[in-house]
Amino acid sequence: MYNFYKLKNGLRVVTEYIEHVNSISVGVMVQNGSRNEDLSLNGISHFIEHMFFKGTEKRTSKDIVQQIENVGGQINAYTSKEATCYYIKNLSTHLNLSIEILADMIINSKFDDEEIEREQGVVIEEINMSEDSPEDVLDNNQAKAIFGDNSLSYPILGTIENIKSFNSKKIKSFVKSHYNPLTSVISVCGKFDSKELIKILEEYFGDWEVDKNYFPKYESPILLMESKYTNKQIEQLHINLALKGLPYAHEKAYSLVLLNNIFGGGASSRLFQKVREELGLCYTIYSYGQPYLGVGINNIYTGVSKQSAEKALDVINKELKAFAKEGISKELLEINKEKIKANYILGLESTSSRMFSNAKNMLLQNKIKTQEEVINKINNINSDDINYVLDTCFKPGIISSAYVGQDIDYEKLNHIIEPNIKAYDSSSLEGTSRV
């Protein structure tokens, strides 16, 4: 059973009561991520996520995690392009402790300079680790290629130079302006007493004050027809090909999920069967959507040998064009409705996954999508919806590309998929004119 209300300071609360569990998942989700940053502060949202664990007026960094882990709970956080979430999963008997610790972190963190300096080393090593990962480099390349100078292209981890520049004054100023009860949501899922929960939330979060009425405003980026390449001493060539997608919460979103499932969503998908099973050109290949507020892209990922790259790209491009032209049969439509309904339901089997889903829906749409509503939307997908997504997302073809590999002629590869994609080497051209 879902419930929604606001605290006196405007902080939204969404709850889902589940009788048959003995656990509780509590999350505080803030509409702030790397998309909210300017270039000089890129990485500060993720760095602040780390710093909220580094001590408050009443707790050390060890106290924060130890008090949760000592009762068998789990505490963690993540930062994305558009949101940051701090969350605890615990036994329902420790609801008060879980909420009190989250409130203490959000409202009373000290941001001590000594802790900041220590954590700079940790995050710099996280960046170094990410730069050693071809997949992470590829994701950043693709974002830069298709979003250009828009903040959606900024890496969530930021840059080493920026991380070194952060201090207590910068962090406190950013938190004060961007962490706001009016642009945040508390999500609770599991077994709890509703009256007790409201009392606890008012007690611990009621004093979270609004400094000013800050509401995120995003520019709508133009999708660029560009390519980015990083020369890396690795065995495989990692490839990411971008198509037009749909923005977050688009009315045809589930139709795109369904088409991605058929085209590149699993071992029975068209891409997997053709490129891996029939031709043996790769180990992994799949397609997936990346929806954001106001804009979305669709991606095809694969990793191949340098020798197989041209053949693989040619086959992928031909399969994409054939899929966009042929569409899908009614039988395939019905089969994949069942598949994505099952994937959706299985993805909500835990209190934490339901807590995240409820928080994001409330944060970015200011409403909850019930399971029944989602199932009905999937059941109602028709041929007109499918044709709309095929025309919008698949028929325009590949509009952007990214590569990570050793000594690759990426311009030659681009001519296989789309001759007018502009290519540049990330190791030599970080600033380039846009088409």
Report how far Cα 14 is from the mean position of its chain's Cα atoms.
Answer: 21
Question: What DSSP string describes 69-126?
Answer: HTTT-EEEEEE-SS-EEEEEEEEGGGHHHHHHHHHHHHHHB---HHHHHHHHHHHHHH
Percent of the chain with pLDDT over 70: 96
| Reported CATH class of domain 226-425 | alpha beta
The band of 188, judged by pLDDT with boundaries at 50, 70 and 90, is very high
Radius of gyration, CA atoms only, the chain = 23
Q: Is 284 a residue whose pLDDT tops 90?
A: yes
Domain 2-205 is classified in which CATH homologous superfamily? Metalloenzyme, LuxS/M16 peptidase-like (3.30.830.10)
> Where do the domains of the chain lie?
2-205, 226-425
Q: Alpha helix locations (H) across 29-82?
A: 44-51, 61-69
Catalytic residue, candidates 16, 49, 115, 319: 49
Confidence of residue 425 (pLDDT cuts 50, 70, 90): low
What band does 432 get if pLDDT is binned at 50, 70 and 90? very low
pTM value? 0.93
Amino acid, res. 76: N
Is 49 among the residues known to form the active site?
yes
293-311 pLDDT, tens digit each: 999 999 999 999 999 999 9
Residue 287's alpha-carbon distances to 291, 301, 392, 395, in angstroms, are 13, 6, 16, 15
Task: Let me know if the fold of 2-205 is the same as that of 226-425.
Answer: yes
Closest CA to 131 of 152, 91, 105, 158: 158
Give bridge partners of residue 85 from the DSSP assignment. 29, 78
DSSP assignment, residue 43? Answer: T
